[in-house]
Amino acid sequence: MRHIEYTYTEGMGDEELAERLRAREMGVLSLVDGDDAFGFPVAHHYDGERLYLRLCERPGRGKSDVVEATGRASFVITGGEANEEAWSVVVHGPLVAVDDVTDETLNEWFAPVRLFDEPVEDVVPVVYRMEIRDVGGRRSCGPINLG
């Protein structure tokens, strides 16, 4: 495998991790229920200490049931188009439902809810707080020349 391209990566410090989490609006939440794995694009809000995730419940789709079955979830954000600019942040931890979020807070913290040919009244935003157990991130720092 000497004819494929490689690039070096390096870890991010706490300040850069926090900035990346604050700057992005969307990421992918990974959950598991038994043998079934799920990945959902979700809006998120990071306040410097806590990570909040907004899921949307729709009739016939029980994301909250999958959240309840998952002991430890993963949340990923990525960025950068070119190898030299690519980065990712991964956060792990259990999810806890947050019941006291107002409509005003939802609008302030999260990107608009995306509808998929469904009535607004059929979509119910649900907010979870991830109890962060660990967080890590890496970014590209240059190509490897194998000569």
Per-residue pLDDT of the chain (147 residues; tens, 9 = 90+): 567 777 889 999 999 999 999 999 999 999 999 999 999 999 999 999 999 999 988 776 678 888 888 889 999 999 987 766 899 999 999 999 999 999 999 999 999 998 888 888 888 899 999 999 999 999 998 766 665
Assess if residue 51 is contained within a domain. yes
| Contacts for 58 with CB less than 8 Å, ≥ 6 apart | 118, 122, 123, 124
Structural domain of residue 50, as residue ranges?
Answer: 6-144
Looking at the chain, the number of H-run helices and the number of E-run strands are 3, 9
Assess if residue 130 is contained within a domain. yes
Please state the pTM of the whole predicted model: 0.89
Assess if residue 103 is contained within a domain. yes
